[in-house]
Chain A
Amino acid sequence: MPEREIAEQKMSYRQAVREAMREAMNRDDRVYLMGEDVGLYGGCFNVSEGMLEEFGKERIIDTPLSESGFTGCGIGAALGGMRPIVEIMTVNFSLLASDQIINTAAILLHMSGGQFNVPIVIRMATGGGKQLAAQHSRSLEGWYSHIPGLKILTPATVEDARGMLWPALEDPDPVLIFENTTLYNFEEAAPVNGTQVDITSAKVRREGSHVSIITYGIGLHKSLKAAEMLSADGIEAEVIDLRVLRPLDNQTIFESVRKTHRAVIVDEGWKSVGLSAELSARITENLFYELDCPVERVCAAEVPAPYAGHLEKASLPQPENIVETVRQLGGIYG
């Protein structure tokens, strides 16, 4: 992380999301939070704790279990001039709202010939690794990023968790924010009074010259760990945090791969027909002659998430898998 001049404070990813929401609600009357258990319960992951008391039930709205209903309601409210933050407990349940997200939010602007944009922000938890089994552990953010009309954000740092919400609310189009459940307790120093982050670019989180590891979300943390392990071996990996899965920032990715000539993609989503395949294709289509070896991918095993801890661990990319994959790249020990 580059050094900063502004005051920083250590906070958790959870706190950062909460602070971002509080700031947005204090800043703009049109902003409100709606979702299952966001009020009385304080949020399924404790993200909105205290917000009901602070903002009242008019702006912190507990909804019944009606994902399609309240997500569609958020879309309507956005069209009516409000700026709703809709929280869907996890990406798995968002499938119940996928009609509203995909059949309405993503395409209304287009179907209406540019008349009706949908300025909604939908936050949801994503990812596995907590032994919650197959219906609570999916990483479907790559799958959503298949859809034209949606913007897909995957904050991996406390700074992004804090900073991405406001620009997302300012965006005239639907923005989905995916918060990896294993990151909520992650602590990091972040600017105290909000922060300006963009929601358009990927970022180089660690510089290196031998290989580009391209990842996002929890994959960033595993990749950074892997990069440290590789460094001991004399391999310097550049780690790219995609941050935004749609639209993808080709430039940052390509610049890095042009420098390192090797690319490994780390994604907790499945490999087949997924985000990692898209990234690999883009690199190969654009930088084929720059590559010293084929693009490699470290992804989730092609199984639904198992409950048993050792099996789940084996099904997800781990720093050791990333290290192993990089070590086997052609010419890496040059």
Chain B
Amino acid sequence: MADSKTETKSREVNAQLKSGKRKQAGSGKDNARLMHHLLAQMIRIRRLEEKSYELYTREKIRGFLHLYDGQEAVAVGVMEVLEREDAVIAAYREHGQALAKGVSMNSIMAEMYGKTTGCSGGRGGSMHLYDKETNFFGGSAIVANGLPMAVGLAQAYKMQKRSSLACCFFGDGAVGEGEFHESMNLASLWELPVLFVCENNLYSMGMPFELAEAETDLLKKAASYRVEGERVDGMDVTAVLEAARKAVDYIRSESKPWFLECQTYRFRAHSMFDPERYRDKSEVKEWKKRDPIKMFSERLMDEGLLDEKQLADIESQAQQEVEESVGYAEESSDEPIETLSRYVYSDMKNSE
């Protein structure tokens, strides 16, 4: 893993969170470390996305590319309270969740380059990042299609009496799909440990949320399936973290699902082919004032938990990691065409 340092830190912080030390460490060194870690994770995602954008315009990355800029606080805040054994299922704008779950930036970049060293061996691309090592289950580009999978993983964990949970991330668009409703019902009915994280960024591609849903209060929808939940400011990483911690504590102690709506905003276009006719530039500008990274770093500075040098260090580390990942992807090899029919069946002899 390229980010072993970050990962070790993440594990330490998690241990603190679990042992309850975090609370006492409110103004201490540990708290500062946690805050720096959260900031660093968000900055890693932002720099990865900026580089991905650039590489797309240079035609190094092809296909569809959906960038996560603006929503970083959601992935980082939620992932902070999950264990490595917990399953994460995301959708097609999933670079951020993958990175935050511990998938290496090298393997994500190599995947977008279509190289064998990519986390999906170059078979998936930007929309289909998978990593068994970190229990990252994609990467689905069919809206809401990953939700039933999360229900099933949770069902398996429950049957096996494991304490793991399944966490699925999806957008507001998924709420219109039948699979959302079926999954919420099944998870509630069977009391399964599923964390449903809706990243409500107000648009399902170009469709404004309020034009898509007759009932825009998503907690009411959750309640109709008797699923408890909460709405949180998805631009505030510590608010997301606290909400996710409450959710995960509930799920693990009650063995019941939880619905977390994170109100957030995507700063970039839906994909690289989107002229953004459906939203006003002023709206984007307004939301950018609430940039989760900017807000958080300013806050930390105000509280004396971060100085310019520390911020510069975090930035340069992220930049370096991104540059290294590009080098890694560039140098990685293409899969030979001879093995094209691999991975259709586990037993290759049965491939047609």
- Interface residues of chain A, those whose CB is within 8 Å of chain B, are 32, 58, 63-64, 66, 68-82, 84, 99-100, 103-104, 108-117, 148-149, 151, 172-173, 200, 246-248
Contacts and interface: CB of A to CB of B under 8 A. Distances in A.
Interface stretch (B140-148, B246-254, B287-295, B323-331): B140-148
Q: Residue among B151, B166, B189 with the most chain A CB within 10 A?
A: B151
Contacts of A81: 156, 160
Interface string B331-352: 0000000000011111100111
Contacts of A72: 145, 147-149, 151-152, 179, 183
Contact of B152 (A64, A78, A149, A246): A78
A116 B189 CA distance: 27
B116 to A, nearest CB: 8
Nearest 6 CB-CB pairs, A to B? A76-B152, A72-B148, A113-B121, A80-B156, A69-B182, A112-B130
B46 to A, nearest CB: 26
B8 to A, nearest CB: 24
Interface string B306-329: 000000000000000000000000
Name the prevailing secondary structure of the A interface residues. mixed
Contacts of A151: 345, 350
Given A75-B152, A76-B152, A77-B153, A69 B186 contact: yes
A275 B121 CA distance: 32
Q: Residue among B119, B155, B179 with the most chain A CB within 10 A?
A: B155
B154 interface: yes
Interface string B129-169: 01110000111101001011111111111011000001000
A39 B342 CA distance: 39
Contacts of B104: none
Contacts of B182: 64, 66, 68-70
A66 B139 CA distance: 23
A111 B123 contact: yes
B343 A76 contact: no
B4 to A, nearest CB: 20
Interface in B82-133: 87, 118-124, 128, 130-132
Contacts of B183: 69, 72-73
15 contacts: A64-B189, A66-B185, A71-B148, A72-B148, A72-B149, A76-B150, A76-B166, A108-B138, A109-B343, A113-B123, A113-B343, A115-B131, A148-B352, A246-B352, A247-B352
Nearest to B179: A68
B159 A110 contact: no
B149 to A, nearest CB: 4
Contacts of A84: 152
B178 interface: yes
A117 B137 CA distance: 11
B344 A111 contact: no
A320 to B, nearest CB: 35
A58 B159 CA distance: 8
Contacts of B87: 80
B346 A73 contact: no
B149 A172 contact: no
A100 B151 CA distance: 13
Interface of B: 87, 118-124, 128, 130-132, 137-140, 142, 145, 147-157, 159-160, 166, 178-179, 182-183, 185-186, 189, 342-347, 350-352
A253 B178 CA distance: 43
Contact of B124 (A103, A113, A148, A200): A113
Contacts of B185: 64, 66, 69
B346 A109 contact: yes
Contacts of B131: 115
Contacts of B140: 103-104
Nearest to A199: B350
A111 B342 contact: no
Given A76-B152, A200-B350, A111 B179 contact: no
Contact of B145 (A58, A79, A99, A248): A99
Contacts of B128: 111-112
B119 A79 contact: no
Contacts of A73: 148-149, 151-152, 155, 183, 186
B149 A79 contact: yes
Contacts of A116: 130, 132, 137
A81 B151 CA distance: 14
B346 A173 contact: yes
Q: Residue among B131, B140, B343 with the most chain A CB within 10 A?
A: B343
Contacts of A115: 120, 130-132
A32 B343 CA distance: 27
A113 B159 contact: no
B142 A80 contact: no
Q: Residue among A70, A71, A246 with the most chain B CB within 10 A?
A: A70
Given A73-B151, A99-B145, A246-B352, 8 more contacts: A73-B152, A76-B149, A80-B160, A100-B145, A111-B138, A112-B123, A116-B137, A151-B345
A36 to B, nearest CB: 13
B153 A76 contact: yes
B295 to A, nearest CB: 36
Nearest to A120: B152
Given A66-B182, A66-B185, A110 B149 contact: no
A113 B119 contact: yes
A291 B344 CA distance: 33
Contact of B151 (A69, A78, A110, A114): A69
A80 B123 CA distance: 22
Contacts of B178: 68
A248 B122 CA distance: 29
